[in-house]
Structure formats: C-alpha cells, structure tokens
Structure 1
Amino acid sequence: MDIDAVTGILREAASTAIVPRFRALADGDVSEKSPGEVVTVADREAEELISVRLRGLVDAPVVGEEAASADPGLVRALVEAPVAWLVDPLDGTANFVAGRPEYAVMAALVRHGVTVAAWILRPVSGTVYVAERGSGAWRDGSRVVRKPAPSDVSSLHGVALTRFLSPQDRAHVEASSPLFGSVGPGSRCAGVDYPLLVDGELDFALFHRTLPWDHAPGTLLLAEAGGVPLRPDGSPYAPGDDRVGLLNAVDEACWDTVRALLIPEGVRG
C-alpha cells in the first residue's frame, strides 16, 4: 500500500473541493440529507474525487459516507468484500458550514472486515495522521506513541458525546462527569477528537453512534499509538459492526476506570 499516495489524494480533494469553500459557501451549497444532518457540495465533490483516485490505487468497493447515505447497502462491502475503502470526505460538516475549523478528511482501507490502514487530514493546519496495522501511527511523518494517562481520576480529561444516549444513560454520564478533571461534549468531529487522544490533549472519548467512516480511521490511529478502542463490553471495534457504543482510552488502566465510572452498568455487557 502506497501510504503517501493516499495522503496526496486527500490533500488534492481538500485543496480543490473543500478549502476554497470554507467560510465561502454559496446559497444552495448546503442541504439537509436527514433530520439534523447537513451535506454540502464540498462533501459530494470531495467524495467523488477521492473515490475515483482510490480505486486507481486498489480496485475495490468504496464505501463513502454520502454514497452510503443514498444506498445503505454499500456498507455490506465492509464485511463481504475481501478489500474495501472507507471515505469520510468532510467529517464535521456542521462545523464547516458554521465556519468553525474543526473538520477533517478521512479514509481507511479494510481487509476482511479489519481496518488495516487509516488517514486523517486536518485541512486547516495541513496536519495528517496516518496509521498502518502492526506498523504504528504517525503525525506528519513522525512516529506517535501516546504516554499513559494520569492514575488520578480527577486528572483525566475526556469527551462524551451524549446526543444519542437515552435520557437515563445521559443522566448517568452527567452525574459521573464531575469525578473527572473534565468531560466535554467533543468537537462534533471524530477526525479532531481522535488526534487529540494521541496528541495528549484528551485521555478518553466515549461515543454512542459508531458509523464506520467516522470511527474506523481513528480507532486504528489510537490503537497503533498504544491506546485502547473497545466496545463497552470489552469487544473490539470493527467497521462492519453496526452495534452502538465505543469507549476509547489511551491505556488499559484508563479504559477500565472510565468504563466503571462513566458507563452505566447495564450498558457494559
């Protein structure tokens, strides 16, 4: 796999379809694809460009967020095809529309249901994170290894996206949050929150909805940097798995602590 070639494809998509429209979206460039979910012309153009280029590198199905929104059956390729691409052309679309810089371009390569390579590009800074299963994680070409989290719970900092939780589970998270140093709502962009884990600015991140284009790249990045991305019941995350719930932590001790305090017992499995 030519890691740098994929990075180049994401940079090309960002520079041609996304960055020129940042804070410059025209009337008609934004539409609602589902209640509370927006899509822009930048999402669609970037996904089309990336998909064509990726198939030129490895001729395999491309499961893009926008294509899968139109045809949900495409997601089956992640478990049925021997090789498949995953693409999130503009993660954090709501931020992008609002003119906030917390957005990313992401891709992953999946073999036999397992994520084997991942890319996260932050177009605003130009920073790119890359991971390859069994080979490590990198930020702009430099190896990334995350240090263990503090042992004191009050020194742990994380995010918990509670938007999709039941009222009971949301109340549990809110009641437990003061035990930690901080528990925020996150950036509304997985392509921002996962790099914050490996860069040392966050110690854990709890998600409920785990769409593959949002989480396949970041979970591999975190794992290759030494972190622990697992379902609340302790089972591994796989991009073809449609279950909900995902707890990411920077080491096993942190994962165990956050699971015991932040996740309701009935959700732990």
Structure 2
Amino acid sequence: MEKVAEILAEASAEVVEPRFRALAAGEVIEKAPGEIVTVADREAEVIITRRLQELLPVPVVGEEAVAADPSLARALGTEPAVWLVDPVDGTSNFVAGRPDFAVMASLVRAGHTVASWIYQPVSGVSYSAELGSGAWRDGHRLVREPAGDDPEKWRGWVKSRYVEPALHHQLQSNARAFGPITPGLRSAGMEYPQLAEGSHEFILYWRTLPWDHAPGSLLVTEAGGVSARLDGSAYRPEPPGCEDGLLVACDPAVWERTREILLDLAFED
C-alpha cells in the first residue's frame, strides 16, 4: 500500500507539480470536444504505468491511454487483475490554477476494487483504502460517523451535467429538501475524501468513468459509507459507457432517504 502511494507522490512531484500554474503554450490540448488534457497528464500516466507494472505486471487502464485506444478499457471485464490510473483528476482545475486536483490509482480484481490511492498534490495529503481493511488519511484510520435523521441538515453535491433535461429539472427541484447543495469541485479525487471525512453527507454522480470513481468509492465504503448504483447494486468499475448514475452517501440510511427524495418516482417500476 505504501509503495503505490509513493509512486503517485513521486510522479506528481516530477511532472505535475512543476507545471501547476506554469503550463506553457501548447501544453494544453483538446483531446475531445469539451475535454482537455495536458502534457502533465500524459507524462504522469507513463511514469505511473511503468512503475505500477514493476510492482504487479497486469494491464493498466489509464485515462489517457484509453482516450487514445478505447479498447484498452475492456480489460476491466476480461482480465483477472487490472490497475486503474487517473494521472490528473480535475484537469480543468489544474489548467485554471485551482488547487482541486488529484493523482489517483486503484487495483481491480475480478471486477471489484480491492485497493485504492488518492494523492492531493497541493496539500500533500494522501488517502488509501483496502477492501476489508479500512480507509486512511496519511496513515490515520478514517471512520465516517452516521449523519442525523434530518435531510434539511444534510449537505450534498448533485452532479447533473450529463443528465437528460427532464430528470435534471427534477433533481434540481427535489434537492431543495436538503441543506446546502452545490455542483461539486470538478474533481472526484477531492469530493470523495471530503465526504469520507465528514464535510458532506452525499454525492450524486451521473457519468461514472472507472478511473474517476473506483478510488473514492472504496475509500468511502471502507470508512463506513455506501457507493451504489441507483437500483441499489454496489458500485463496480466498468468500461466507459456501461452504466450511468451513482449515489454515494455517508451511511446506509442517508443513501436510502437521499435516493427516495432526489429520484422521486422516476425510477420506480
């Protein structure tokens, strides 16, 4: 566990942090409409991929490698073990000079995330989780206390950018039943740890790219929370385009009540 954390921090120190608020002309590229990548993303992924495979020689499904060759993501369903890598989670924040970005990795075995790591370069804080063994921040165990039973006091993020218009309107309307609701930090590697540590009670995600959600989902569940699809099935990392919709909450009671309020009748049979 410690070795992977070192790999992420060292790759960040080598190629990510030196370019924070110092990106040169031509170092930011549009890889798809509305999607940007930087040389720091690409270089960090190469370093992390090589070093993870030295630890365990299994396929690496990296965000930037999959952008170049989408077929690589199939390994999540065909290989017994796979590394997942997000070299800079929150690239738009990184490019804009905002501190909300992270470097992330996870290990998936037989379709289940069994270990995960999140490194936040600006603060230097490192999170990790191991299936069945717990979640940690810089070596200190994380245990998320259950929330109270009043939804009006619950804080959440509703990430509805990719939701179809009718459901988007419903979510925004129903979210008024809660306490403060915001669109999020544009980085799963910043959002999941905040929920695990107590600043929020739930997050509703829609698009669920595996390198974004495998690390944080394990962190939250190992801290005592829930990360599940809208039908109640536990989150499992899948290739892009397989499933949308993911509700993450600090405890089972908050998950059930939040789903009931936010989704109303839209997903009833």
TM-score normalised to structure 2 length: 0.97
- Give 1:35's aligned residue: 33
- Give 1:244's aligned residue: 244
Q: CA offset at residue 264 of structure 1?
A: 4.5
> Which one of 114, 130, 138 corresponds to residue 116 of structure 1?
114
State the Cα deviation string for residues 206-246 of structure 1 (Å, max 9, x = none). 00000000000010000100000000100111112621000
- Give 1:255's aligned residue: 255
| CA distance in structure 1 between the aligned counterparts of 2:17 and 2:149, rounded to whole angstroms | 41
State the Cα deviation string for residues 87-121 of structure 1 (Å, max 9, x = none). 00000000000000000000000111110000000
> Which one of 88, 91, 94 corresponds to residue 93 of structure 1?
91
TM-score normalised to structure 1 length: 0.97
| CA distance in structure 2 between the aligned counterparts of 1:46 and 1:148, rounded to whole angstroms | 37
Deviates more, 1:241-250 or 1:35-44: 241-250
Q: CA offset at residue 267 of structure 1?
A: 3.5
Deviates more, 1:161-170 or 1:240-249: 240-249
Letter in 2 for 1:28: G
**Structure 1 gap ranges (5+):** none
State the Cα deviation string for residues 2-46 of structure 1 (Å, max 9, x = none). x11100100011101100000000000001011111000000000
| CA distance in structure 2 between the aligned counterparts of 1:12 and 1:24, rounded to whole angstroms | 19
| CA distance in structure 2 between the aligned counterparts of 1:56 and 1:188, rounded to whole angstroms | 31
- Give 1:189's aligned residue: 187
Q: CA offset at residue 79 of structure 1?
A: 1.5
RMSD: 1.0
- Give 2:49's aligned residue: 51
| CA distance in structure 1 between the aligned counterparts of 2:87 and 2:20, rounded to whole angstroms | 14
SS of residue paired to 1:20: helix
> Which one of 18, 24, 30 corresponds to residue 20 of structure 1?
18
Q: CA offset at residue 266 of structure 1?
A: 2.6
| CA distance in structure 2 between the aligned counterparts of 1:240 and 1:268, rounded to whole angstroms | 24
Matched, 1:230 2:251: no
Change (3 A) 1:29 1:50: same
| CA distance in structure 2 between the aligned counterparts of 1:233 and 1:156, rounded to whole angstroms | 22
Change (3 A) 1:71 1:169: same
Percent identical pairs in the alignment equals 54
| 1:173-212 superposed matches below 5 A | 173-212=171-210
- Runs of 4+ in structure 1 off by over 3 angstroms are none
Query: How many residue pairs were aligned?
Result: 267
